[in-house]
Chain A
Amino acid sequence: DTAVSQTPKYLVTQMGNDKSIKCEQNLGHDTMYWYKQDSKKFLKIMFSYNNKELIINETVPNRFSPKSPDKAHLNLHINSLELGDSAVYFCASSQTATNEKLFFGSGTQLSVL
Chain B
Amino acid sequence: AQSVTQLDSHVSVSEGTPVLLRCNYSSSYSPSLFWYVQHPNKGLQLLLKYTSAATLVKGINGFEAEFKKSETSFHLTKPSAHMSDAAEYFCVVRINTGGFKTIFGAGTRLFVKA
Q: Which positions in A face B, CB cutoff 8 Å?
A: 4, 40-45, 55-56, 90, 92, 97-98, 100-102, 104-107
What are 23 A-B contacts with C-beta separation under 8 Å? A40-B106, A41-B38, A42-B106, A42-B107, A43-B44, A43-B90, A43-B107, A44-B104, A45-B102, A55-B99, A56-B99, A90-B43, A90-B44, A92-B43, A97-B100, A98-B100, A100-B34, A101-B46, A102-B36, A104-B45, A105-B43, A107-B41, A107-B43
Quote the shortest CB–CB distance from B15 to chain A (angstroms).
24
Interface bracket on B: 20 to 34
Q: Chain B 20-58, CB within 8 Å of chain A: the 1/0 string?
A: 000000000000101010100111111001010000000
Q: B32 — which chain A residues lie within 8 A by C-beta?
A: 100
Q: A101 — which chain B residues lie within 8 A by C-beta?
A: 46, 49
Q: Chain B 63-101, CB within 8 Å of chain A: the 1/0 string?
A: 000000000000000000000000010100010000110
- Check B51–A104 contact: CB distance below 8 A: no
Quote the shortest CB–CB distance from B86 to chain A (angstroms).
15
Task: Give bound CA distance, A40 to B106, whole Å.
Answer: 8
Known: A100-B34, A100-B94. A41 touches B107 (CB 8 A): yes
- Check B42–A100 contact: CB distance below 8 A: no
- Check B104–A42 contact: CB distance below 8 A: yes
Task: Give bound CA distance, A105 to B45, whole Å.
Answer: 9
Q: B43 — which chain A residues lie within 8 A by C-beta?
A: 4, 90, 92, 104-107
Quote the shortest CB–CB distance from B95 to chain A (angstroms).
11
Q: B109 — which chain A residues lie within 8 A by C-beta?
A: 41
Task: Give bound CA distance, A101 to B65, whole Å.
Answer: 17
Task: Give bound CA distance, A106 to B45, whole Å.
Answer: 10
Q: A107 — which chain B residues lie within 8 A by C-beta?
A: 41-43
- Check A41–B106 contact: CB distance below 8 A: yes
